[in-house]
A = this chain, B = another copy of it.
Amino acid sequence: MSEREYDIGTAELEVLSALWELGPSTVRAVLNHLHERGRRVAYTTVLTYMTRLEAKGFVRTDKREQAYVYRAAVTQSKVRRSRLRQLLDQLYDGASAPLALQLIRQGRFTREEIDELRQLIDRLDVKRGGSQPD
The interface of chain A, by Cβ under 8 A from chain B, is: 10, 13, 17, 76, 79-81, 83-84, 87, 90-92, 96-97, 99-111, 113-114, 116-118, 120-122, 124-125, 128, 131, 133-134
Q: Which residues of B contact A102 (CB under 8 A)?
A: 80-81, 84, 134
Determine whether the beta carbon of A113 is less than 8 Å from that of B97: yes
Determine whether the beta carbon of A100 is less than 8 Å from that of B104: yes
User: In the complex where A80-B91, A90-B13, A91-B80 touch, is A117 in contact with B131 (Cβ < 8 A)?
Assistant: no
Select one of B80, B114, B120, B121 contacting A92, CB under 8 A: B80
Q: Which residues of B contact A113 (CB under 8 A)?
A: 97, 100
Distance from A27 Cβ to chain B, minimum over Cβ atoms (Å): 21
User: In the complex where A105-B120, A114-B121, A117-B121 touch, is A79 in contact with B100 (Cβ < 8 A)?
Assistant: no
User: CA–CA, A30 to B124, complex, Å?
Assistant: 39
Determine whether the beta carbon of A100 is less than 8 Å from that of B125: no
Interface centre among A96, A107, A108 (most CB of B within 10 A): A107
